[in-house]
A and B are shown apart, each in its own frame.
Chain A
Amino acid sequence: MRLLVPIIALVLALAAAVSLDRPLPPADFVLIDRSDVYTLDPQRMSYQHELRRARVLYEPLVNLRAADCAVVPGVAERWEVSPDGLTYTFHLRDDAKWSNGDPVTSEDFRYTWRRAILPDSAADYSGLFFAIAGAKEFFDAREAMTTEFAATHAAAPSPADAEALWKRTAELFDTTVGLRAPDARTLVVTLKAPVAYFLDLCAFPCFAPVHPPTVEAFVSIDPTSGRLIQRHDWTKPGRIVVNGPYMPTIWRYKRDMRLEQNPHYWNKDAVVAKTIECRTVENANTGVLSFQSGAADWLTDLGPEYRTEMIAERRAYLERFKADLEAGLARGGRVDDVVAALPPPGEGERRDARGFSAFGTDFFSFNCRPELPGGKLNPFSDARVRRAFALAVDKQALVDRVTRLNEHVASTLVPHGTIAGYPIVEGLGYDPDRARAELKAAGWDDRDGDGIVENAEGVKFPTVDILYSTSSPRYQNLALAMRDMWKRELRVAAECRSKDSKLYKNDLQKGNFMIARGGWYGDYGDPTTWLDLQQSQNGNNDRGYRNPEFDRRLAEASGETDPALRLRKLAEVERWLFNEEMPMLPICNYVSVYMYDPVETAGITDHPRLEQDLSVLGPRRDAATGSAP
């Protein structure tokens, strides 16, 4: 009997623990993400789901309208651009308020942008701010000041000296960086050179303001290095102060976040759902089952395990109603509205999963370095070899039979139709005859008829080393399929080598590969977010492609002041890059797959930049589409 006593005590303790953790009342809109947001500090964000959350918490000077990615007023109700394109004057609206009732001022923006530029903040996107006059100089000067300070104070910490250093830094910012606040409602930004997409940048969440007193309460100065130490405790509900349509009221680590309407938001009448619950479910299987059990309105990332099957079921459904769908679209209806009005799906069909072509491109990098690590021969340093390998890949077959997500095949980097005014650029397509000719022109040919390709000195073409990461079976499948294509069309042998994400990254940086999987998502609505990747000095230039000619052409085109001409010039650079230089082999545009029922949920945009606006998502309201209560 004595044994029962501890067990009863355990049960009671458990009951107490359980009763403390009660479920919350249901929210108006529930979404499921694959991972929790890493931070609610908008200057430190870089992931898509974080930026999506930030868009409804922090309102920047201007917003991107989800439907078409047009720049519309945010905190700034209007703005002027000087004729030389260098000076932007923003006029802030009177009723822009923080969630604690404080007005949003131009000083708040200066404070926020200063903290984004400071090297102390270690922000991923500091580089975007270098478009502002003096920003890069300020960054370098601060870096030099703290390095020098650390050298003299590492052994002799001095809070007073660190404080003085910070004062000098703040003064330096005021005098060097092109950011002025003549009054609380006006912000004047001076750029280093005209940036055609500057307004688009201003809509990026990293440019959205934070509430200075709230953030400043957790900043201290390290007396040994002179650097600012930023603690992020201010992002927790209860402390956090925001200026967007929603504010977080509950945030439980890797579990859920609850957003409630910000009562002080100036445009709160336009907000659809009063409360939003963002749940984190890492397991793809559990996420799908949760959605199907009705626990969520939107599953933001359908795992690779389900994608092909569900996309196929959607295709089967749309195939049955092809005529109705086409008629509806011809009348100018949006896909979701037309699909919601169709009869319900039958066995083996579905309409609650949808793939969207995204602002991202899947590619494989060619190693363009003169030689491989260890001084080994690198045939891919020759553009003719790169062209040959690109021409020998049948991308449509890859998309149809390997990835099977109905992706758009890509021959260039910038996804077609994503940037208004940017022409459609085509690169090299599938042409095995020309591929063999290019390889021959590069000196690689089967000279002795033994089925092996060699050069004039009789050196065999080295076995091609294809590197990919084990993060998804997609890359392995693509690598294997291309290996077979190259074997068939070019008679070269290739070997696939898989590495864990971290080791793969390591090999990429060291240039230890011949062909490696890559991929890129654009950050802002301008071709340079893509083309900059090929710049000699770019930190993401994994290809080791260093071509002063390209750098010169890109700088010349992006510096053009006439916006329409500038886009045409950039398109010309891209055309040259993907017809002649070929530093990478684009495969297709990425597809994002969501699960949501178009009958129940409205407001999801299919603009390829996929800037979903949580504040307009909610139940479908119009009766005409037949939404049942």
Chain B
Amino acid sequence: MSAPSVSTGALILRRLVQLPFIVLAVYTLTFILAWSVPGNPLENPEGRRPPAEIVEAMKKQYKLDDPVAFYVDYLEKASGIGYLRGTTDRVFDLGPSLKQPDWNVNEILATGLPVSITLGLSAMILALMIGLFAGLVGGLRPGSPADLATQLVAIVGISLPSFVIGSALLMLLAVKLKLFPVGGWGGLSFIALPALTLSLPFAAYISRLVRFGMIEEMGADYIRTARAKGLTRARVALRHALKNAFLPVLSYLGPATAVALTGSFVVEKVFAVPGVGQHFVDGVLGKDITLVMGVVLVYSTLMVVFNLVVDVMYRFVDPRIA
């Protein structure tokens, strides 16, 4: 709703200039939150304590004894300045994991991010297919038994938390019917259940968007004209009405995909999927500051870029916006 409309090029440029400031703000906020939590990442929360002098030695090594030094040092290495100055040999060095000394945050993201992205995108594709189908079924025959049934399923899909749906699907499809493996990752059969679980709330929302859109559009004047012209109901619905009914779905897809990519940790836990979401939650609980900072930096950058892509695409699909 910005008053003077800007060109697409100017929009991209403005967002790219904003990007480092947004990420810096997120970084600083995360830093303050992460440091204000009591406890020490070098300690096993449930286990034995190493002697004090060893803890001191470890703190020194990871700059945990000086928040300001940590803040500056981490920012320098993560932003690429450290690489240019030669203090690190990785271009964007997100640091070592404090809890998992054998892994650095770059490696953890490199193993987890493709998994989370695969899961998130599969879920969005499933959500679109299910949502469109259910929305069309309901929207073309409002009040019919098929409409009531899909609406009921949609309400259940939105309101049930994913760990309930996930566990139920596990019990039914993996344990009782043995159609899919119980958990893990590697191959299509492993993706099916977590992707379905993750997709259901989105599918439910999409189906309601499509249903309302279709009901509204099917009553519009131009549809009556098209019908009068002799087009079949199915052709009118799919060719003309759906085109307009789909626009709200498109604007929903942007944030929804971002949420599916970043918010999948519950599903990842239930199905033992080795994605970033799980690693991030473990990082927060274990006070693995570098891991938390690294994931937040990468995700906030992704979010900004992603929103930009969606805004540009939206202008492309619907020229009225620009």
Binding site for B on A (CB under 8 A): 2-3, 7, 10-11, 13-14, 17-18, 21-24, 36, 38-41, 44, 46-47, 119-120, 122-124, 126-127, 139, 143, 225, 227, 229, 231-233, 235-236, 252-256, 279-283, 285-287, 289-290, 292-293, 295, 469, 471, 501-503, 505-506, 520, 539-540
B45 touches A282 (CB 8 A): no
B187 touches A46 (CB 8 A): no
Q: How far is the CA of A285 from the CA of B183 in the complex (A)?
A: 10
User: With A252-B274, A281-B272, A283-B272 given, is the CB distance from A289 to B125 under 8 Å?
Assistant: no
User: With A10-B121, A289-B175, A503-B38 given, is the CB distance from A471 to B46 under 8 Å?
Assistant: yes
B99 touches A14 (CB 8 A): no
Task: List residues of chain A with CB within 8 A of the CB of B122.
Answer: 14
B269 touches A253 (CB 8 A): no
Minimum CB distance partner of B61 in chain A: A122
Q: How far is the CA of A21 from the CA of B274 in the complex (A)?
A: 12
Chain A interface: which of B2-10, B51-59, B135-143, B227-235? B51-59
Task: List residues of chain A with CB within 8 A of the CB of B121.
Answer: 10, 13-14
A286 touches B57 (CB 8 A): no
- Pick the residue among B51, B103, B108, B114 that contacts A539 (CB under 8 A): B51
Task: List residues of chain B with CB within 8 A of the CB of A469.
Answer: 46
B93 to chain A, nearest CB (A): 12
B274 touches A502 (CB 8 A): no
Q: How far is the CA of A503 from the CA of B52 in the complex (A)?
A: 19
- Name 17 extra pairs, CB < 8 A, besides A282-B269, A289-B171: A21-B115, A39-B102, A46-B44, A119-B54, A122-B50, A229-B61, A253-B274, A279-B272, A281-B183, A281-B272, A285-B270, A293-B181, A295-B182, A471-B46, A502-B37, A539-B49, A539-B52
B288 to chain A, nearest CB (A): 11
Task: List residues of chain B with CB within 8 A of the CB of A120.
Answer: 57, 61
A524 to chain B, nearest CB (A): 13
A285 to chain B, nearest CB (A): 7
Instruction: Let me know if B165 is at the binding interface, CB within 8 A.
Output: no
A18 touches B188 (CB 8 A): yes
Task: List residues of chain B with CB within 8 A of the CB of A280.
Answer: 272, 274
Instruction: Let me know if B47 is at the binding interface, CB within 8 A.
Output: yes
Task: List residues of chain B with CB within 8 A of the CB of A24.
Answer: 186
User: With A14-B118, A143-B57, A539-B50 given, is the CB distance from A289 to B183 under 8 Å?
Assistant: yes
Instruction: Let me know if B107 is at the binding interface, CB within 8 A.
Output: yes
Q: How far is the CA of A87 from the CA of B111 in the complex (A)?
A: 48
A475 to chain B, nearest CB (A): 11
A68 to chain B, nearest CB (A): 26
A10 touches B38 (CB 8 A): no
Q: How many A-B residue pairs lie within 8 Å, measured between CB atoms?
A: 172
Q: How far is the CA of A227 from the CA of B60 in the complex (A)?
A: 10
A46 touches B48 (CB 8 A): yes
Task: List residues of chain A with CB within 8 A of the CB of B46.
Answer: 469, 471, 501
Q: How far is the CA of A10 from the CA of B167 in the complex (A)?
A: 28
B182 touches A289 (CB 8 A): yes
Q: How far is the CA of A293 from the CA of B103 in the complex (A)?
A: 32
A254 touches B278 (CB 8 A): yes
Instruction: Let me know if B80 is at the binding interface, CB within 8 A.
Output: no
Task: List residues of chain A with CB within 8 A of the CB of B42.
Answer: 122
A18 touches B187 (CB 8 A): yes
Minimum CB distance partner of B55 in chain A: A122
Q: Which residues of B from 78 to 121 have beta carbons under 8 Å from A?
A: 96, 99-103, 107-108, 111-112, 114-115, 117-118, 121
A126 touches B51 (CB 8 A): yes
A253 touches B182 (CB 8 A): no
Instruction: Let me know if B271 is at the binding interface, CB within 8 A.
Output: yes
B88 to chain A, nearest CB (A): 12
Task: List residues of chain B with CB within 8 A of the CB of A3.
Answer: 246, 317
Minimum CB distance partner of A281 in chain B: B272
Q: Which residues of B from 147 to 204 have beta carbons under 8 Å from A?
A: 167, 170-171, 174-175, 178, 181-188, 190-191
Task: List residues of chain B with CB within 8 A of the CB of A122.
Answer: 42, 50, 54, 57-58, 61
Q: How far is the CA of A13 from the CA of B44 in the complex (A)?
A: 41
Task: List residues of chain A with CB within 8 A of the CB of B117.
Answer: 17
A289 touches B170 (CB 8 A): yes
User: With A7-B125, A501-B46 given, is the CB distance from A295 to B181 under 8 Å?
Assistant: yes
B99 touches A282 (CB 8 A): no
Instruction: Let me know if B287 is at the binding interface, CB within 8 A.
Output: yes
Task: List residues of chain A with CB within 8 A of the CB of B186.
Answer: 21-24
B77 to chain A, nearest CB (A): 14
- Pick the residue among A14, A36, A38 that contacts B125 (CB under 8 A): A14
A235 touches B175 (CB 8 A): no
- Pick the residue among A14, A44, A143 that contacts B53 (CB under 8 A): A143
Instruction: Let me know if B293 is at the binding interface, CB within 8 A.
Output: no
- Pick the residue among B49, B102, B115, B170 that contacts A286 (CB under 8 A): B170
B47 touches A46 (CB 8 A): yes
A124 touches B274 (CB 8 A): no
Instruction: Report B53-75 CB contacts with A as 1/0, cut-off 8 Å.
Output: 11001101100000000000000
A119 touches B274 (CB 8 A): no
Q: How far is the CA of A119 from the CA of B58 in the complex (A)?
A: 9
User: With A235-B102, A236-B102, A506-B38 given, is the CB distance from A292 to B48 under 8 Å?
Assistant: no
A11 touches B279 (CB 8 A): no
B118 touches A18 (CB 8 A): yes
Task: List residues of chain A with CB within 8 A of the CB of B99.
Answer: 38
Task: List residues of chain B with CB within 8 A of the CB of A38.
Answer: 99-102
B118 touches A39 (CB 8 A): no
- Pick the residue among A11, A41, A252 that contacts B101 (CB under 8 A): A41
User: With A7-B128, A292-B175, A501-B45 given, is the CB distance from A253 to B279 under 8 Å?
Assistant: yes
Q: Which residues of B from 197 to 235 have beta carbons under 8 Å from A?
A: none
A253 touches B112 (CB 8 A): yes
Instruction: Let me know if B248 is at the binding interface, CB within 8 A.
Output: no
- Pick the residue among A253, A282, A283 that contacts B111 (CB under 8 A): A253
Task: List residues of chain A with CB within 8 A of the CB of B125.
Answer: 7, 10-11, 14
Task: List residues of chain A with CB within 8 A of the CB of B182.
Answer: 286, 289-290, 293, 295
Task: List residues of chain B with CB within 8 A of the CB of A283.
Answer: 183, 269-270, 272
Task: List residues of chain A with CB within 8 A of the CB of B39.
Answer: 502-503, 505-506
Task: List residues of chain B with CB within 8 A of the CB of A39.
Answer: 100-102
Minimum CB distance partner of A2 in chain B: B317
Minimum CB distance partner of B281 in chain A: A282
Question: Would you list the 8 A-B pairs with minimal beta carbon distance, nearest first?
Answer: A502-B39, A255-B274, A122-B58, A501-B45, A23-B186, A286-B183, A232-B102, A281-B272
User: With A281-B183, A501-B46 given, is the CB distance from A253 to B103 under 8 Å?
Assistant: yes
What are 11 residue pairs bridging A and B, where the CB atoms are less than 8 Å apart in the complex? A17-B114, A46-B44, A119-B54, A122-B61, A227-B60, A233-B102, A253-B108, A253-B111, A254-B278, A539-B51, A540-B48
Task: List residues of chain B with CB within 8 A of the CB of A506.
Answer: 38-39
Task: List residues of chain A with CB within 8 A of the CB of B188.
Answer: 18
Q: How far is the CA of A46 from the CA of B54 in the complex (A)?
A: 14
Q: Which residues of B from 8 to 59 have beta carbons under 8 Å from A?
A: 37-39, 42-54, 57-58
B318 to chain A, nearest CB (A): 12
B174 touches A293 (CB 8 A): yes
Minimum CB distance partner of A507 in chain B: B38
B185 touches A255 (CB 8 A): yes
Q: How far is the CA of A233 from the CA of B90 in the complex (A)?
A: 14
Q: How far is the CA of A232 from the CA of B104 in the complex (A)?
A: 9
Minimum CB distance partner of B250 in chain A: A3
Task: List residues of chain B with CB within 8 A of the CB of A44.
Answer: 101
Q: How far is the CA of A471 from the CA of B45 in the complex (A)?
A: 10
Task: List residues of chain A with CB within 8 A of the CB of B60.
Answer: 225, 227
A293 touches B100 (CB 8 A): no
Minimum CB distance partner of A519 in chain B: B46
Q: How far is the CA of A7 from the CA of B127 in the complex (A)?
A: 12
Instruction: Report B275-294 CB contacts with A as 1/0, cut-off 8 Å.
Output: 00011001000010000000
Task: List residues of chain A with CB within 8 A of the CB of B183.
Answer: 281, 283, 286, 289-290
